[in-house]
Amino acid sequence: MNRRDFLKSCAAAAKGFALSNCAVAAAGCISSGSSAQGRIAQKRPNIIFIYIDDMGWRDVGFMGSQYYETPNIDRLAGQGMVFTNAYANAPNCAPSRACLLSGQYGPRHGVYTVNTSSRGPSKLRKLIPIANTTVLDSNIITIAEAIKPAGYVSASIGKWHLGNDPQFGPIGQGFDVNIGGYSAGHPVKGYFVPYNNPELPDGPPGEYLTDRLTDEALKFIQTNKDNPFFLYLPHYAVHTPLHAKQELINKYKKKAGSNGQNNPKYAAMIESTDQGVGRIMEKLDELGLTDNTIVFFFSDNGGVKGITSNQPLRGGKGMLYEGGIREPMFVRWPGRTAPGSTCDAPVIGIDFYPTILEIAGVKKPKGHILDGQSIVALLNKGNSKFDIQYSKFKKRTIFWHFPAYLQGKAEGARDPHFRTRPGAAVRLGHFKLIEYFEDGALELYNLKNDISEQNNLAETIPEKTAELHNLMIAWRKKVNAPVPTKLNLDYNP
Ligand SMILES: [Ca+2]
């Protein structure tokens, strides 16, 4: 079923006809036209997905930062379950978002990187990389479209980075509200008014973008307090440019750095983001929505080397090493996630789509491929399904496919010219294999005792290397993942 047919069948369901394709689990699936319907619909939990841009694994207090101050985020994390092995689907922005919103691995939609896949000096690129797609195909049924038949009103407030409305922006992709989302991957004029954002009218002089997005989120929650809502809140923060409020910058200038984290402007941006999270939680409390609202917290790729430190992880944004893809992540679901609980099972961006479907009580849209798995059964350790699911997640393979060049010199990278050359990665259990397409080189790491990926075991444990490489090759076949093989005639290192 394509997207148009899916939406048509949902419209039919809304009128009370064939419900099967939309899988409405209970009555009251369409948002409240009356207070009685509203009460029924409110049984479905609200979903808030806080998605920080470029935030590294250790950039929050609950993950051990001693420099950045995130008391609100930490409190929220402490009321939920923290996932210590959570991954972005890619080491940079657009592909991670495309995977999250579609529930599909990169080769299904072709969004592999940001802008062109041919970044960096041509003479240093041995291969012609796979062409990149910069918009998410509008025929793909996004999370917002999938849960709409259950009565969810959805908003995307913040960065989109996958094309423009009316077709490829949030509205084109099924959100009811779009505030600030278009093709840009960062605030083009900066974080203070004027924003020059076609989807965000400027506020008063001095207004700060992170605060404004929080204000908009509060308004959306207030407006939709009586019906189930899905608030996708992809903050522009903490992506560059590093613009922050002066009083916060001054505060961090006086504070000693720790563990390689010492940038006052970046710290100030993180604190403004944290204040926004605090205000959203206050709003939920004020409206009595806390118990019926599930909050996700996640980032789209690793912290940027030179701005923050991802220690003890190797590398940062743009790399397939852990520093580029491992993210701070938690879920708070009152009554479900035990306060202070943690989970070390690897989870990845494509898992959120099926997770949100399960929360919303909606079946997978017919014909839509989902590459991830719902993490709902992992959220409650007392759940009878927990042990089975936990063991499944610990044993499953997850993949990254990055057939593109990302320029830039950065500590932790494999070579001095590129953060990443075309390559791929797979994780199974504690082992992770990285393959480089230019020369076929393989790196195998045991993350259990080498989280910093310093000890390449590819030749020490050839049978494990072969096992993971074969899994990667089989997966590429399954998802039609293109591998660059054409030589670049300009290559002259
Ligand atoms: Ca990013």
DSSP character string of 424-455? EEEEETTEEEEEETTT--EEEEETTT-TT---
pLDDT reported for residue 17:
30
Cα–Cα distance, 394 to 372 (Å, whole number) = 14
- Give the Å distance between the CA of 35 and the centre of ligand 1: 40
pLDDT reported for residue 482:
98
Report residue 106: phi and psi, to 5°: -50, -45
How much is the pTM? 0.92
- Give the Å distance between the CA of 237 and the centre of ligand 1: 9
Q: Are strands 81-83 and 442-446 parallel, antiparallel or unpaired?
A: unpaired
* Mean pLDDT, the chain, whole residue set: 93
Q: Which of 109, 161, 235, 469 is catalytic?
A: 161
pLDDT of 31 strictly over 50: no
- Give the Å distance between the CA of 294 and the centre of ligand 1: 23
Please give the structure tokens belonging to residue 234: 């992809």
Helices H, strands E: what count in the chain?
Answer: 13, 17
Cα–Cα distance, 316 to 301 (Å, whole number) = 8
CB under 8 Å to 425, separation ≥6 — which residues?
Answer: 320, 325, 399, 400, 402, 432, 433, 434, 435
CA of 23: how far to CAs of 20, 139, 225, 305, in Å?
Answer: 5, 20, 24, 45
- Give the Å distance between the CA of 239 and the centre of ligand 1: 7
- Give the Å distance between the CA of 179 and the centre of ligand 1: 18
Torsion of CA 481, 93, 127, 108, to 10 degrees: 20
Average pLDDT over residues 262-276: 98
Cis omega before residue 238 (within 30°)?
yes
Query: What would you report as the CA-atom Rg of the chain, rounded to the nearest whole angstrom?
Result: 22
Q: How far apart are the first and last CA of the chain?
A: 48
Cα–Cα distance, 240 to 243 (Å, whole number) = 8
Please give the structure tokens belonging to residue 117: 């896949």
- Give the Å distance between the CA of 186 and the centre of ligand 1: 9
Query: pLDDT digits over 158-187, tens only?
Result: 999 999 999 999 999 999 999 999 999 999
| pLDDT classification of 24: cutoffs 50, 70, 90 | very low
- Give the Å distance between the CA of 317 and the centre of ligand 1: 8
pLDDT reported for residue 383:
84
Query: pLDDT digits over 227-243, tens only?
Result: 999 999 999 999 999 99
pLDDT reported for residue 382:
83
- Give the Å distance between the CA of 299 and the centre of ligand 1: 7
Greater confidence, 326 or 5?
326
Cα–Cα distance, 403 to 117 (Å, whole number) = 8
List residues bridging with 427 in a β-sheet.
398, 432
pLDDT reported for residue 40:
44
| pLDDT classification of 334: cutoffs 50, 70, 90 | very high
Is 93 designated active site? yes
pLDDT reported for residue 384:
86
Cα–Cα distance, 118 to 98 (Å, whole number) = 19
Cα–Cα distance, 311 to 322 (Å, whole number) = 10
The answer for 331, left when phi > 0, alpha when psi is -120 to 50, beta otherwise, is: beta
- Give the Å distance between the CA of 452 and the centre of ligand 1: 21
- Give the Å distance between the CA of 93 and the centre of ligand 1: 4
Average pLDDT over residues 188-204: 98
- Give the Å distance between the CA of 151 and the centre of ligand 1: 30
Q: Which of 10, 22, 29, 93 is catalytic?
A: 93
Q: Which of 157, 153, 174 is nearest to 218 (CA)?
A: 157
- 40 touches 227 (CB < 8 A): no
The answer for 206, left when phi > 0, alpha when psi is -120 to 50, beta otherwise, is: left
- Give the Å distance between the CA of 391 and the centre of ligand 1: 31
Q: Using the CB atoms, write b or e for 121-159: b if 16+ within 10 Å.
A: eeebbbbbbbebbbbbbbebbbbbbbbbbbbbbbbbbbb
pLDDT reported for residue 41:
43
